[in-house]
Structure 1
Amino acid sequence: MSAYVEFQQVKKVYHMGEVSIEALSDATFEIEKGEICVIVGASGAGKTTLLNILGGMDTLTTGSVLLDGKEISKYNKKELTAYRRYDIGFVFQFYNLVQNLTALENVSLATQICKDPLDAELVMDEVGLSHRMNNFPAQLSGGEQQRVAIARALAKNPKLLLCDEPTGALDYNTGKAILKLLQDTSRKNGMTVVIITHNQALTAMADRIIHIKNGSVYSVEKNENIVPVENIEW
């Protein structure tokens, strides 16, 4: 049986005038369904490029990418838009909430564009924000805003949840709470979660760890001793 996510010899070259910059070279790895995968590497290593290609926000130069048996790297613009809309949930470092909508309205917004959404109020409850549904983003703490962003991504009922430095703008304890939420959600719902980070300590929470260095996949390992987030220190 093939893996849920497959990257096969993916290369990405950006052309800037006369200059060609290779952001990814020969990146190859697999992720199984329901896994938490942490992709770790220094700034500029190629993590975000990789995530953007997997999320259908960027295209590759050569190679192939498959999700759930479908080769997304062959999709045209229209197919990529549908893919981002229906199959992928995104969580970024900054929460990207609509400021003049309540927390619940922000989550409901996402459910209106997808095929098989979850109940927005239920998801808000799951992320621990049932008491904050009618608050606007400006009335919420950073951690609460990030919970709304995660709820919005989860409410789409995506095949894949992609998180780009999801705790980057948060303090230590709030960041831990957000990572625990992601770990618990993955376990409970069998959700496949990919987290990119420069924080080496977070690899302890992952089922699969991918190290990226200078645009190449340096190593892929299966974690035999997964640590609950609350027990990780950094």
Structure 2
Amino acid sequence: MERHFVEFDNVCKYYQMGENRIAAADHVSFFIDKGEFCVIVGPSGAGKTTVLNMLGGMDGCDEGRIYLDGQEVSAYNQKQLTRYRRYDVGFVFQFYNLVQNLTALENVELANEISKEPLPAEQTLRQVGLEHRMDNFPAQLSGGEQQRVSIARALAKNPKILLCDEPTGALDYKTGKQVLALLQNTCRQTGRTVIVITHNSALTAMADRVIHIRNGQVAGVEVNENPTPVERIEW
């Protein structure tokens, strides 16, 4: 059976809260095709991050199956999950997680050391518009520049998929737009599959595919035939 590039098949994730069992993901099913820019949107506590963590191999699922590029990620053991996180997935978080006593270039080079087929660190920093900041330390960079370094670091791994959890959450409006435009352009220019999690429904216009999550369930999926460049979106 031909699988989509990303596929969630009836996935459940439960947490025990005292006597109660809470479903953070409640029979979640969706797919994402290779090279798509996908936005997963929903209010805080809806289960978006749970979905992202399961796809990223940081959390297991209790029921259902998760596939990436024809492989069943949900069947991996711990050793396989470590390899998967290391080689196949690039992560971008709300907070930049940079090593403070390393330069921008050295932070990106960290990714090269753990990857099978990394991209040159200088190349990815140029790609995110930071060729003039390579020797700066994180404390010498603005928030937007630090987030660009973290995106360059994720891209340098040459991953199959880029997972971004509220990547503009710590940034002002203008800088946030620049970072989102960078992610959208990266998807278009490299054919890499990019997934952005957000609570901001205005961002759905920029996506090829939009997955709405509410109360741990998929509330709807939309496909945009003509995604809007992020520069033209206001919120």
Structure 2 Cα separation of the partners of residues 60 and 201 of structure 1: 30
- One-letter amino acid of the structure 1 residue matched with residue 56 of structure 2: G
Contiguous gaps of at least 5 residues in structure 2? none
Cα distance, 1:16 vs structure 2: 3.5
Matches within 5 A, 1:65-214: 65-214=66-215
Structure 1 Cα separation of the partners of residues 177 and 29 of structure 2: 30
Cα distance, 1:210 vs structure 2: 0.2
Structure 2 Cα separation of the partners of residues 113 and 103 of structure 1: 17
Q: Helix, strand or coil: the match of 2:167?
A: coil
Aligned residues: 234
Cα distance, 1:77 vs structure 2: 0.6
**What TM-score results when the alignment is normalised by the length of structure 1?**
0.99
Cα distance, 1:18 vs structure 2: 2.8
Other-structure match for 1:56: 57
**What TM-score results when the alignment is normalised by the length of structure 2?**
0.98
Structure 2 Cα separation of the partners of residues 81 and 68 of structure 1: 17
**Cα RMSD (Å) of the superposition?**
0.7
User: How many percent of aligned residue pairs carry the same amino acid?
Assistant: 69
Other-structure match for 1:233: 234
- One-letter amino acid of the structure 2 residue matched with residue 9 of structure 1: N
Cα distance, 1:126 vs structure 2: 0.6
- One-letter amino acid of the structure 2 residue matched with residue 90 of structure 1: F
- Deviation digits for residues 83-124 of structure 1, max 9, x if unmatched? 000000000000000000000000000110010000000110
Contiguous gaps of at least 5 residues in structure 1? none
Cα distance, 1:15 vs structure 2: 1.9
- One-letter amino acid of the structure 2 residue matched with residue 114 of structure 1: S
Q: Helix, strand or coil: the match of 1:85?
A: helix
- One-letter amino acid of the structure 1 residue matched with residue 72 of structure 2: E
Runs (4+) off by over 6 Å = none
- One-letter amino acid of the structure 2 residue matched with residue 56 of structure 1: G
Cα distance, 1:221 vs structure 2: 1.4
Q: Helix, strand or coil: the match of 2:211?
A: strand
